[in-house]
Each structure stands twice: as C-alpha cells, then as structure tokens.
C-alpha cells in the first residue's frame, strides 16, 4: 500500500513537473520542447534528475521548517541549555546511504545515455560502392558565422542548415579561428567546435520545421568567441527526405554558377567586382576553401530566414548590413574589405536576394 502510494506520488510529481516545464519557452528554441531523439533523451534525463532533486529539496525543507518552528528560543524558553548532542551514527549512515542510492538511480541512465549519444560508428559505414551510408554534415564555425558542407553530395552552404527528417544526421564540427560551440536547443545538446580537432556527434530531426513560427529551428553559438558572440546565430530547416533530395539536386545544379562582371545588372556586376573574392554563388565546390572564398557561401541567400544570421531578411536590412557591417556585428571580418556606392548597394541587395535554389 505504502509502496503504491509512493509510486503514485512520484508519478504525479513527475506529471506536474512536465506540465509546468513544457509550458516554458518557444517551440523553435526551447530544450523543454524537444523535437528530436537526442533532445528527448536529454529531456527525459532532465525530468528524472529534477524529480530526484525535488525529493531531496522537499525532504530538506520539511526537516528544516519543522526544526525551525519547533526549536525557536521563544518556544523552548530563554534560559534553557539544550542537550549538547555529539552526533548519531545511525543517522549518519542513513543520510549517506540514501543519497548514494538516489545518485545510482541517476548515474545508470547517465552513463548509458552518454555512450549512446557518443556513438558515431555509423559515420564510417559505406555501401558496396564505397559511398557513405549516413548523411554527414561538416560544420565549420568562423568568427560569427557558420558553414555547412555536405561531403556526400559535394555541396556547401552557410548560415542555414538544411537536413532531412527522420534519420540520424552526423556532424563533423570544427572551428576555423577561435573556439565556438554548436547548439540547436530544440533538437539536442551542444558540442564545441574546437580549433584543435574534429568533434563528432549526431542529431535527429523529428518533424519538418515548416510549421514553426519562422519555419526554422534556431541555432546558437554557445561559447564566448568575441564581441558578436551573441549574434552568431544560425537557422535549421528540417524537410522531408523527398524535399531534401530535391534541395540537394537544386544545389548541385548551381555548379559553375558565378557573377558576371560584364552583366547589365548593376548588382551582379558589382558583386563580381567587389564580393565574389569572398562569397561564392555556386553551392558546388571545395568547402572551407579559406583562401578562395573565406566568406559565407551566398548561393541560397534568397531562401534564407535572416540576413547576417540575425537581422531581418529584407532588402533594407541587407542594404544596411552591407553599408556598415561593423555597426551590426562588431568585430566581424567583412568590414572594410570593399568599397561600394549607395547605388551599388541597392543593386547588390536585390541581386543577392535573388540568389535562390528553391522554387517559390
């Protein structure tokens, strides 16, 4: 009977907690609204941990309050000298053993999940032709922006990660300048992008991001990396496997695409003169080509959700950004690399906005 009661007590506590916590945060960014297997495992651990910890807090609080109200000097008398108790072995053993048991309950799933989430062996699996089976994305973090390249398909993009739903997507994480950290709270915990080595982990995207408020999940840089650390956002678009294949094909079709300096479009001509040294407009090519195109690839700029990772995705915002990047993202590496007139900026903005691979 007592046991049953306890179980129900625990269960209702857990349920209450879940209701309370799941009321928290926005679907596209909150770790409390998991939208993938990894985040869900972590959420479950959170619930388990919170339940155990709440029990601890409640027990301590109850003892504390009883002791406090029962043994006030006004209650026990002004001149009473309490018995000078030395201690109690029985009690010492109780409050050593019970916490150990509680910790074991938490430690076992912790260790299991640690190994589970750390398992990236499938990255190296290949089919008969030697092609990798799993989808791997190489993430390169640079000062205040993100590059995503897909070695399996030989395509590269920036700032907006596109992934298929329903499968494990593996990531190779690396930083090109200083340390950053890759985090999509609704999909799973973070992993650092070190300058020293390649980090590997996987995420699973359960549902298409289309129905979300902005149609994307929010991603963040979670490691202090300089003045604009707070602005080093990226977005994640999760699409159905079919749409993902379509997107890949569209990306591959941009092979050889470039800006023509002789173009009658002032925007394209200016781009060819002032921008193409850093920004590629073809998604096919060598990723992380630091020397050739050190800036974000702009092939899909028109399809994106934000300008510069966090500003509105409008021509006006883009014009402001091109005009004075330092004002919006202090410490960025684009400032001062080019000189363009206001007229050219307007043309550039409409040209860059037009770069798209998706059907509208």
Partner 1 sequence: MSSSVKKKGFGATVWDYLTTVDHKKIAVMYLLGGTLFFVIAGLEAVLMRIQLMYPENDFVSAGTFNQLLTMHGTTMLFLAAMPLLFAFMNMIVPLQIGARDVAFPFLNSLGFWLFFLGGLFLHLSFFMGGAPDAGWTSYASLSLYSPGHGVDFYVLGLQVSGAGTLISGINFLVTIINMRAPGMTFMRMPLFTWTTFVTSALILFGFPPLTAGLILLLFDRMFSAKFFDVMYGGNTIIWEHLFWIFGHPEVYILVLPAFGLFSEIIPTFSRKRLFGYSSMVFATILIGFLGFMVWAHHMFTVGLGPTANAIFAVATMAIAVPTGMKVFNWLLTVWGGSIKVTTPMLYALGFIPSFVAGGVTGIMQATAPLDYQLHDSYFIVAHFHYVIVGGIVLGLLGSTHFYWPLFFNRMLNETLGKITFWIFFIGFHMTFFLQHFLGLMGMPRRVFTYMPDQGWDLFNFISTIGAFLMSAGVILLVLNVIITAIKGEPAGNDPWGDTRTLEWAIPQPIPFYNFRQTPLVRGLDPYWIEKQEGNKEGMVYAEPLGDIHMPNNSIVPFVMSLGLFIASFGALYSPLGVADDSRTWAIPVLVIGLVITFGSMIYRSLKDDHGYYVTVAEIEALEEELYGKKGGNK
How are beta strands 217-221 and 160-164 bridged, if at all?
A: unpaired
Is the CB of 223 or the CB of 344 nearer to partner 1? 223
Per rule CB under 8 A, is residue 122 in the interface with partner 1? no
Choose the stretch contacting partner 1; rule: CB under 8 A; options: 8-16, 74-82, 280-288, 294-302: 74-82
Per rule CB under 8 A, is residue 223 in the interface with partner 1? yes
Per rule CB under 8 A, is residue 29 in the interface with partner 1? yes
Furthest-apart CA atoms within the chain: distance in Å: 99
Site string for partner 1, 320-339 (x = CB under 8 A): ----------xx--------
CB of 87 to partner 1, least distance (A): 4
b/e map 78-110, b = 16+ CB within 10 Å: eeeeeeeeeeeeeeeeeeeeeeeeeeeeeeeee
Question: Element (H or E) spanning 149, and its range?
Answer: strand 145-150
Is the CB of 44 or the CB of 258 nearer to partner 1? 44
> Contact 223/179 with Cβ under 8 angstroms?
yes
Q: Which of 106, 266, 278, 340 binds partner 1 (CB under 8 A)?
A: 106
Per rule CB under 8 A, is residue 294 in the interface with partner 1? no
Distance CA 117, CA 106 (A): 16
CB of 243 to partner 1, least distance (A): 26
Per rule CB under 8 A, is residue 31 in the interface with partner 1? yes
Choose the stretch contacting partner 1; rule: CB under 8 A; options: 154-162, 229-237, 265-273, 343-351: 229-237
Per rule CB under 8 A, is residue 16 in the interface with partner 1? no
Using CB under 8 A as the binding rule, the residues of this chain from 140 to 199 that contact partner 1 are: 173, 175, 177-179, 181, 183, 185-186, 188-192, 194-197, 199
Is the CB of 229 or the CB of 237 nearer to partner 1? 229
> Contact 111/45 with Cβ under 8 angstroms?
no
CB of 105 to partner 1, least distance (A): 11
**φ/ψ bin of 142: left (φ > 0), alpha (ψ from -120 to 50), beta (otherwise):** beta
Q: Which of 16, 76, 253, 290 binds partner 1 (CB under 8 A)?
A: 76
Q: Which of 2, 5, 68, 127 binds partner 1 (CB under 8 A)?
A: 68
Choose the stretch contacting partner 1; rule: CB under 8 A; options: 58-66, 266-274, 296-304, 333-341: 58-66
Extract the tokens encoding 344: 């050219």
CB of 235 to partner 1, least distance (A): 12
Of 232, 182, 184, nearest to 209 (Cα)? 184
Q: 2-22 vs 37-70: helix axis angle to the nearest 10?
A: 120
Distance CA 186, CA 28 (A): 6
Q: Which residues, 6+ apart, have CB-to-CB distance to 10 below 8 Å?
A: 51
Is the CB of 4 or the CB of 23 nearer to partner 1? 23
Is the CB of 222 or the CB of 348 nearer to partner 1? 222
Per rule CB under 8 A, is residue 123 in the interface with partner 1? no
3-state secondary structure of 192: strand
Per rule CB under 8 A, is residue 63 in the interface with partner 1? yes
3-state secondary structure of 210: helix
């Amino acid at each position: 009977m007592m046991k049953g009661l306890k179980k129900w007590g625990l269960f209702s506590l857990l349920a209450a907690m879940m209701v309370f916590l799941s009321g928290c945060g926005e679907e596209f960014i909150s770790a409390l609204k998991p939208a993938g297997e990894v985040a869900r495992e972590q959420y479950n651990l959170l619930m388990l941990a919170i339940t155990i910890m709440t029990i601890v807090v409640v027990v301590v609080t109850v003892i504390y309050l009883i002791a406090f109200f029962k043994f006030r000097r006004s209650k026990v008398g002004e001149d009473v000298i309490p018995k000078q108790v030395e201690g109690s072995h029985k009690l010492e053993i109780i409050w050593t053993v019970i916490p150990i048991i509680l910790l074991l309950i938490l430690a076992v799933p912790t260790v299991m999940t640690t190994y589970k989430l750390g398992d990236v062996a499938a990255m190296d699996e290949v089919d008969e032709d030697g092609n990798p089976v799993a989808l791997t994305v190489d993430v390169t973090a640079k000062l205040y922006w993100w590059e995503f390249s897909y070695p399996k398909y030989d395509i590269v993009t920036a700032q907006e990660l596109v992934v298929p739903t329903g499968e494990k997507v593996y990531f190779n994480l690396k930083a090109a300048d200083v340390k950053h950290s890759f985090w999509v709270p609704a999909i799973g915990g973070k992993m650092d992008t070190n300058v020293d080595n390649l980090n590997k982990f996987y995420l699973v995207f359960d549902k298409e991001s289309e129905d979300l408020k902005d149609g994307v999940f929010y991603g963040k840089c979670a490691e202090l990396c300089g003045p604009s650390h707070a602005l080093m956002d990226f977005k994640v678009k999760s699409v159905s496997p079919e749409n993902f294949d379509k997107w890949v094909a569209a990306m591959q079709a941009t092979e050889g695409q470039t800006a023509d300096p002789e173009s009658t479009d002032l925007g394209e001509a200016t781009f060819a003169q002032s921008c193409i040294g850093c920004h590629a407009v073809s998604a096919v090519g060598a990723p992380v080509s630091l020397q050739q195109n050190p800036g974000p690839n702009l092939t899909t700029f028109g399809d994106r959700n934000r300008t510069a990772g966090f500003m509105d995705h409008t021509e006006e915002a883009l014009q402001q950004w091109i005009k004075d990047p330092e004002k919006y993202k202090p410490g960025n590496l684009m400032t001062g690399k080019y000189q363009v007139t206001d007229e050219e900026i307007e043309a550039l903005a409409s040209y860059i906005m037009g770069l798209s691979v998706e059907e509208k």
